[in-house]
A and B are shown apart, each in its own frame.
Chain A
Amino acid sequence: MRCKKARILVSASLDGELSRREQSALQRHLSACAGCAEESARFSALRDTISLWTDEEPSERLAESFAHKLHQLQQKEPAAKPVVARWLLGTAAAGAATALVMVGFLLHSLLVQPVPLPAPAEVVKPPAAAGKPTGAEKSPAPGTISGITAAPAVRKGDREPTRVGRPQPARGRRPRPLASRVRSADEARRMAATEIAAAGIAQGAVAAHVMDSLSGAELAMNETVERVRGTLQETVDLVVSKFPAPADNTLSPNGGSTP
Chain B
Amino acid sequence: MDGSCRFVNFFSSLAYRYTMQTAANRAGETDEELMARFQAGDSSAMEELFARFQKPLFNFFYRMVGRRETAEDLVQETFLKLCRFGSSFRGSDAKFTTWLYSVAGNQCRDYLRHSARRPETLLRDLEQNYSDDVTDLTPAAGDSPVEDYLIRMEVRAVLETAINSLPEKERLAVILREYHGLEYREIAEVLGSPIGSVKVLIFRARQRLRDKLKDLSAEGGAL
Asked if A and B bind, the verdict is yes
Bound-state Cα–Cα, A183 to B78, Å: 68
Query: Is the CB–CB distance between A235 and B11 below 8 Å?
Result: yes
Contact of B156 among A52, A58, A70, A77 (CB under 8 A): A52
**Shortest beta-carbon distance, A64 to chain B, in Å?**
11
Query: Is the CB–CB distance between B178 and A70 below 8 Å?
Result: no
Query: Is the CB–CB distance between A235 and B12 below 8 Å?
Result: yes
Contact of B41 among A43, A80, A242 (CB under 8 A): A80
Contact of A42 among B152, B200, B202, B210 (CB under 8 A): B210
Interface status of A34 (Cβ within 8 A of chain B): no
Residues of A contacting B43 in the complex (Cβ-Cβ under 8 angstroms): 70, 74, 79
Within 8 A of B (CB), among A12-42: 12, 15, 17, 42
Interface status of A121 (Cβ within 8 A of chain B): no
Task: Please give the number of chain A residues whose Cβ is less than 8 angstroms from any Cβ of chain B in the complex.
Answer: 39
Contact with A along B42-80 (1 / 0, CB 8 A): 010011001100111011001100001001100110011
Contact with A along B171-191 (1 / 0, CB 8 A): 000000111000110000000
A56-B129, A65-B76, A79-B41 in contact; A49/B47 too (CB < 8 A)? no
Residues of B contacting A238 in the complex (Cβ-Cβ under 8 angstroms): 8
Query: Is the CB–CB distance between A50 and B129 below 8 Å?
Result: no
Smallest CB gap from B5: residue in A: A242
**Shortest beta-carbon distance, A220 to chain B, in Å?**
17
Interface status of A117 (Cβ within 8 A of chain B): no
Query: Is the CB–CB distance between B55 and A43 below 8 Å?
Result: no
Interface status of A115 (Cβ within 8 A of chain B): no
**Shortest beta-carbon distance, A148 to chain B, in Å?**
56
Query: Is the CB–CB distance between A8 and B72 below 8 Å?
Result: no
Interface status of B109 (Cβ within 8 A of chain A): no
Interface status of B122 (Cβ within 8 A of chain A): no
With most chain B CB atoms within 10 A of its CB, the pick from A17, A47, A65, A74 is A17
Query: Is the CB–CB distance between A67 and B199 below 8 Å?
Result: no
Query: Is the CB–CB distance between A49 and B213 below 8 Å?
Result: yes
Bound-state Cα–Cα, A235 to B199, Å: 61
Query: Is the CB–CB distance between B62 and A73 below 8 Å?
Result: no
Query: Is the CB–CB distance between A63 and B59 below 8 Å?
Result: no
Within 8 A of B (CB), among A118-134: none
Interface status of B203 (Cβ within 8 A of chain A): yes
Contact of A53 among B63, B68, B76, B80 (CB under 8 A): B63
**Shortest beta-carbon distance, A79 to chain B, in Å?**
5
Query: Is the CB–CB distance between B184 and A12 below 8 Å?
Result: yes
Interface status of A232 (Cβ within 8 A of chain B): yes
Residues of B contacting A243 in the complex (Cβ-Cβ under 8 angstroms): 12
A7-B203, A239-B8 in contact; A63/B159 too (CB < 8 A)? no
Bound-state Cα–Cα, A12 to B205, Å: 12
**Shortest beta-carbon distance, B174 to chain A, in Å?**
8
Question: Which range holds the interface residue count of chain B?
Answer: 35 or more
Residues of A contacting B104 in the complex (Cβ-Cβ under 8 angstroms): none
Contact with A along B138-179 (1 / 0, CB 8 A): 000000000000001001100110010000000000000111
A43-B206, A49-B213, A53-B160 in contact; A58/B54 too (CB < 8 A)? yes
Bound-state Cα–Cα, A56 to B156, Å: 13
**Shortest beta-carbon distance, A54 to chain B, in Å?**
8
Query: Is the CB–CB distance between A15 and B72 below 8 Å?
Result: no
Residues of B contacting A42 in the complex (Cβ-Cβ under 8 angstroms): 210
Query: Is the CB–CB distance between A66 and B50 below 8 Å?
Result: yes
Interface status of B20 (Cβ within 8 A of chain A): no
A11-B206, A50-B209, A236-B15 in contact; A55/B59 too (CB < 8 A)? yes
Interface status of B94 (Cβ within 8 A of chain A): no
A50-B159, A80-B41 in contact; A58/B179 too (CB < 8 A)? no
Query: Is the CB–CB distance between A17 and B46 below 8 Å?
Result: no
A43-B210, A52-B156, A55-B55 in contact; A62/B72 too (CB < 8 A)? yes
Interface status of B23 (Cβ within 8 A of chain A): no
Interface status of B83 (Cβ within 8 A of chain A): yes
Query: Is the CB–CB distance between B80 and A17 below 8 Å?
Result: no
**Shortest beta-carbon distance, A137 to chain B, in Å?**
67
16 contacts between A and B (CB under 8 A): A8-B203, A11-B202, A12-B199, A42-B210, A46-B209, A50-B159, A50-B209, A51-B178, A52-B156, A53-B163, A56-B129, A63-B50, A65-B76, A66-B54, A235-B12, A242-B8
- Contacts A46-B213, A53-B163, A62-B76 aside, 5 further interface pairs with beta carbons under 8 A come to A49-B155, A55-B59, A66-B75, A73-B80, A235-B11
